[in-house]
Amino acid sequence: MAFISSSSSFPISPATFHAQPYSDPPYKLLQKHSSLTLLSRCNNIHTLKQVHAHIIKTGLHNTHFALSKLIEFCAVSPSGDLSYAISILETIQDPNQFMWNTIIRGLSLSSDPALAIVFYNRMILSGIEPNSYTFPILLKTCAKMAVTHVGKQLHGQILKLGLGSDVFVNSSLINMYAQCSELDNARLVFDKSVVRNEVSFTALITGYASRGRMAEARCLFDKIPIRDAVSWNAMISGYGHSGRFGEALLFFKEMLKANVKPNESTIVTVLSSCAQSGSLELGNWVRSWVEDHDLGSNLRVVNALIDMYSKCGNLDKARDLFNGLNQKNVVSWNAMIGGYTQMSNYKEALSLFRVMLRSDIEPNDVTLLCVLPACAHLGALDLGKWIHSYIDKNFLTYTNKSLCTSLIDMYAKCGNIKAAQQVFDGMEVRSLASWNAMISGLAIHGHASMAFELFSKMVDLGFMPDDITFVGVLSACNHAGLVDLGRHYFSSMIQDYNISPKLQHYGIMIDLLGQAKLFDEAESLIKNMEMKPDGAIWGSLLGACKVHNRVELGEYVAQHLFELEPENPGAYVLLSNIYAAAGRWDDVAKIRTRLHDKGLKKVPDRLLDMSGFKPDTSEVLSDMDDDLKEGALSHHSEKLAIAFGLISTKPGTTIRIVKNLRVCGNCHSATKLISKIFKREIIARDRNRFHHFKDGSCSCNDYW
């Protein structure tokens, strides 16, 4: 049999075997021997070696019984030492079946489980025949390592030795095939089994459930002779992983009706389904059940509750539970930080992450995957760079596709597209998500041709683009004003890749058409959408109306926005700007009554005046003197941010600003001049894209 091989870190050589006469006294005498009594009380390797010395001194080392007990302690006890167990095995002339099985079991639980297969080979070569205890250990190892080809060879050996009717071996075979996605083989073993126990049923149910084949899982579940918590958990977990959260929760209720006591895994699975489905009411009920059944101090359960409350939007309850933990593990921190990030509380996420760094808990990859999006949204480039350095020191960066993808996204959204490109280029293996992040990053920075080139390369390498890919590609068309190419990619997405447009795709196309003054086509696209347009779509069209002074259409579009998002001030501001540009000051005044007056004061910018900057006062929301209008315009948020950057950083330092609305024409013109006057590169991220200002010009070529 050709099994997988592995280099061992232990000194293994048949030449080290020593011939020794083994003759075990009666079992009852050995069992009561003082040395073996001491062995049963060992709790560390130092004491074990003392007991071993005593066993040698008394001559018990000449008995298989004593040596078996020594090997068992060293191989599988938490206080043992696997290498010491192997060294004992090396001194035995004819190790028996129990000794080999014990070593194999210990190796299967080690950090290098492949050695269990190596020692199985050695066991066979030594003339010892495996038994029904050997194979379940090995098959579990194959399942853990996902080496189906080795499992199939073991299956052949099982049949050859006549162990095919052993119920425990069969259960292990079914479990191995099921975990390795060989469900047909798992079912074949199951169907041929003469005797099936609940373990066999549960193994196959788990296999079907984990692959979303819930009809087959349910059919087996209904036939199972004894339904324990494990089989119920398999079904609940399967429904949850399949996105059928309601059925998962109903199954949990059925479990309680059947008087099957849920265990820790059940509760964690159910809370996960509550979190994914947003079932806060049921989540509260589960919490009450947890507290009534003394699971309220179980860390794994509390972590699941924190995650559930976070994902259901109740961050206060989640934080109360988090703060109430006497001891927090990394999962606790991840659940809370991830909750803040998911609910767009990015400042709180980063603040809590900094607290975590001051604690004794080391962040893991999940932590960083929660924090990097917060850095991206806030433009926290310095912290993002620190995280990148931490990843380089503690993880195999360029083999971890998820971390690399998150780094690409963070750098792109923080304005450093070169760093994003470096991470992308350095990846050994790229996922579709990696390509998508890079394409989108190039798009928002205005590098349309590079985005298209990367898309073509991705397709040539065999990657199938998804809806997220086309968001990036269409964004590149939008930011470059490439209407014909945008139409082409939009049609290709539907016809060539069978991807149904989502709201985001429609939004980008409508924005592209609106900016190109193709309002009739934009309206037609809205009317032919398969879903109702959302606020983003109406907002982009309203923005185009402002740019091209389409007052009547702007009023029509704004009305839809007011109905959809009555509390969104952006729609009122845009409509006010449209009215102001048209000189309809009475209408501006009506809009202003619904907005908070900021009490703007005149703070003129003399250097801009001296450079010839003439503000476009048509965008000011009220009918006032031009002098006052200029003062109001000087207080736009990006200008204030740039002013703060100029006085708080060294000359020549790049200034990065982030805002949640599109940059206005006045600020865009002013920022171009500021970059020239102060010889600064200014990188501004607005709602849709990046603007790189340098030497008096912008990367967008004045199209946005």
Q: What is the pLDDT of residues 180-236, one digit of tens each?
A: 889 899 999 998 888 888 888 888 888 888 888 899 999 999 988 888 888 898 899
CA dist 68 and 66 (Å) reads 5
Classify residue 663: in a domain, yes or no. yes
Query: Which comes out higher in pLDDT, residue 37 or 361?
Result: 361
Half-sphere exposure of 205 (CA within 13 A, CB side): 25
Neighbours of 462 (CB within 10 A): 6
* pLDDT tens figures, 609-633: 444 444 554 444 444 444 434 444 4
Domain that holds residue 642: 624-703
Question: Torsions phi, psi of 4, nearest 5?
Answer: -65, 150
Q: Which residues of 498-535 are buried (b: 16+ CB within 10 A; e: fewer)?
A: ebebebbbbbbbbbbbbbbebbebbbebbeeeeeebbb
**Structure-token pair, residue 515:** 């900016």
* pLDDT tens figures, 454-500: 999 999 999 999 999 999 999 999 989 999 999 999 999 999 999 99
Neighbours of 602 (CB within 10 A): 13
Whether 2 shows a pLDDT value over 50: the answer reads no
Classify residue 311: in a domain, yes or no. no
Whether 34 shows a pLDDT value over 90: the answer reads no
- 101 closest CA partner among 128, 78, 80, 77: 128
- 277 closest CA partner among 246, 317, 298, 300: 246
Q: Given the DSSP bridges, would you call strands 655-658 and 682-685 parallel, antiparallel or unpaired?
A: parallel
Amino acid at 578: I
Classify residue 639: in a domain, yes or no. yes
Do 523 and 544 touch, CB atoms closer than 8 A? no
**Structure-token pair, residue 456:** 């073509």
- 212: exposed, middle or buried (C-beta count within 10 Å: 0-12, 13-18, 19+)? middle
Query: Which comes out higher in pLDDT, residue 280 or 594?
Result: 280
User: pLDDT exceeding 70 applies to what percent of the chain?
Assistant: 86
Q: Which residues does 528 contact at the CB level (< 8 Å), separation at least 6?
A: none
First to last CA, the chain: 67
* Rg of the chain on CA atoms, in Å: 34
Classify residue 92: in a domain, yes or no. no
Whether 87 shows a pLDDT value over 70: the answer reads yes
Classify residue 510: in a domain, yes or no. no
* pLDDT tens figures, 159-186: 999 998 888 898 899 989 988 889 899 9
**Structure-token pair, residue 102:** 């014990």
- 287 closest CA partner among 271, 272, 275, 276: 271
pLDDT at residue 570 in the model: 77
**Total number of domains in the chain:** 1
Return mean pLDDT, the chain. Answer: 83
Whether 90 shows a pLDDT value over 80: the answer reads yes
* pLDDT tens figures, 355-410: 999 998 899 999 999 999 999 998 899 999 999 999 988 876 556 899 999 999 99
pLDDT at residue 666 in the model: 73
- Name 683's bridge partners: 656, 692
**Structure-token pair, residue 461:** 């390498």
- 234 closest CA partner among 253, 211, 258, 257: 211
Whether 604 shows a pLDDT value over 90: the answer reads no
Q: Please provide the DSSP assignment of 47-80 as one string.
A: HHHHHHHHHHHHTGGGSHHHHHHHHHHHHHSTT-
pLDDT at residue 700 in the model: 72
Q: Is 481 left (phi over 0), alpha (psi -120 to 50) or beta?
A: left
Question: SS3 helix, strand, coil % of the chain, rounded to 5?
Answer: 65, 0, 30
DSSP H/E element including 697: strand 697-698
pLDDT at residue 369 in the model: 95
Q: Given the DSSP bridges, would you call strands 682-685 and 690-694 parallel, antiparallel or unpaired?
A: antiparallel
User: pLDDT exceeding 90 applies to what percent of the chain?
Assistant: 43
> Distance of alpha carbon 321 from its chain centroid, rounded?
23
The model's pTM: 0.68
Whether 148 shows a pLDDT value over 80: the answer reads yes
Mean pLDDT for the stretch of residues 425-443: 94
Neighbours of 178 (CB within 10 A): 26
pLDDT at residue 335 in the model: 96
Classify residue 413: in a domain, yes or no. no
Classify residue 644: in a domain, yes or no. yes
Whether 97 shows a pLDDT value over 50: the answer reads yes
Classify residue 229: in a domain, yes or no. no
- 338 closest CA partner among 361, 372, 299, 362: 372
pLDDT at residue 428 in the model: 86
